[in-house]
Amino acid sequence: MTRTDHRSFSATLDDLARDVVDACRRGARAIAAMPWPMLVACSVALALVLSILPLALCLFVLFMAVKVVVGAFVVDRRRAWRDHDGKL
């Protein structure tokens, strides 16, 4: 890695850090300007999103895995049944 690449990478990280800090400050100012009822409503909505979304994703993956496993057994059973009938 040349010296100019290292400086460029460092500058990119500095820009990223500055953008993250600016976004956090903007968010903190927005939260500080919110009235209490709106803040409570946003907190409850955020809590629901953060708890329901991972649950839905996990259930989706679980049901897809069950579908694949059951499908594999059904295909294997049908193939065995077809092979058995073909030999008779």
Rounded average pLDDT per 10-residue block, the chain, 88 residues: 68 94 95 93 91 94 95 86 70
pLDDT for the residue 29: 95
pTM score, whole prediction: 0.49
| Whole-number Å distance between alpha carbons of 73 and 34 | 56
41-58 in b/e form (b: 16+ CB < 10 A) is eeeeeeeeeeeeeeeeee
pLDDT for the residue 85: 72
| Whole-number Å distance between alpha carbons of 56 and 49 | 10
pLDDT for the residue 51: 92
Q: Return the structure tokens found at 13.
A: 């990280």
